Amino acid sequence: MPDVLTLTEADVRSLVGPAEALDCMRTGFAALHRRAVTQPAIMDLEFPDFQGEAHLKGAHIHGSPFWAVKAATGFWGNPDRGLPLTNGLFLVFSAETGILSAILFDNGYLTELRTGAAGALAADLLAPADIEQAAIIGAGGQARYQLEALLGVRRPQRVVVASRSGAEAYAKEMQELHDIEVTVMPDVETAVRGSQLVVTTTPSREPVVLADWVQPGTHVTAMGSDFHEKQELEASLLGRADVVAADHPPVAAANGEVHHAVDSGAISLDDVVSLGALVAGDAQGRVNGSSITIADLCGVGVHDAAVATEVMRRAADAGLGSRIAL
């Protein structure tokens, strides 16, 4: 058996960042739109006794020498135990032989990174070119990745944050890190009403953004709904939108904001376009300055296959990693 490459989180971080992940999302979603991806159904698990969840996702982008499967977890009580809230790893296999090629011990980094990059791609495709104020709802890890990635495609004059906890620390950290004004808002409504771009990053199971709060011309990216019961946006908001996009509409119809909007009759699934169609120019995005646009990001296997393949390519070029014999 061939030796297996192993990469640590530090290795992976040195190989790919927001810019590389954004390129991966463009190519991955375009391939998904062309039906040049083999992507099985997502496996989701909940651990209600321990406030935890796990997601197994994988895919093969046709033509790639690798296919990958990712396990990602989120256990909300972990910080009280002195443990990270999220974790995960990737298994990368040869698409020619099926033999295990690598284990990426990224500890959830690639999941956070590629989700932020997908949010940036949605903003680049749908958000206004000029943004006075952007609102981040939530102040956890993904709120950090979403803002970092967003700043690669849009530069708002200021950022506001609304969260039940951690908002002050988040604002201070992001302001110092990105040299941009970040202000804590007293509530979500105030943050949303004054913003032209809104990103929700919560695990909420009831809407945190109501339809009446969103002003004409606003783009909203919702990335928290990756289970059937989760919901960040009031369903009628999707009914108000001029464009509703999803990373993969069939998955969004089962797990995302689209699921709730379709069930309520606010929209039909035929109204939803894929990010890949927008990348390819086969669907229309923002029409004018008053358009309301929404991106529903549930997270799908092509995200993971694309970024894992890029890690493998860069690791080979850099000669990075250790090898273990099976």
CB contact burial 188-208 (16+ within 10 A = b; e otherwise):
beebbbebbbbbbbbbbeebb
CA gap 8, 109 in Å, rounded: 11
CA gap 244, 296 in Å, rounded: 8
Any bridge partners for residue 74, and if so which? Answer: 53, 86
- Sign, CA dihedral 259-262-266-271, equals positive
**What's phi and psi for 7, nearest 5 deg?**
-125, 135
Beta pairing, strands 197-200 & 219-222: parallel
CA gap 263, 244 in Å, rounded: 15
| Residue 67 in tokens | 């296919």
Tally of CB atoms within 10 A around 50? 11
CA gap 117, 122 in Å, rounded: 9
CA gap 326, 314 in Å, rounded: 23
Active-site option among 57, 70, 172, 230: 70
CA gap 268, 258 in Å, rounded: 9
The one-letter amino acid at 136? I
Contact 88, 71 (CB under 8 A): yes
> Is residue 70 among the annotated active site residues?
yes
CA gap 115, 106 in Å, rounded: 14
**What's phi and psi for 102, nearest 5 deg?**
-160, 155
| Residue 240 in tokens | 């108000």
CA gap 311, 89 in Å, rounded: 13
Catalytic residues, by residue number, are: 70
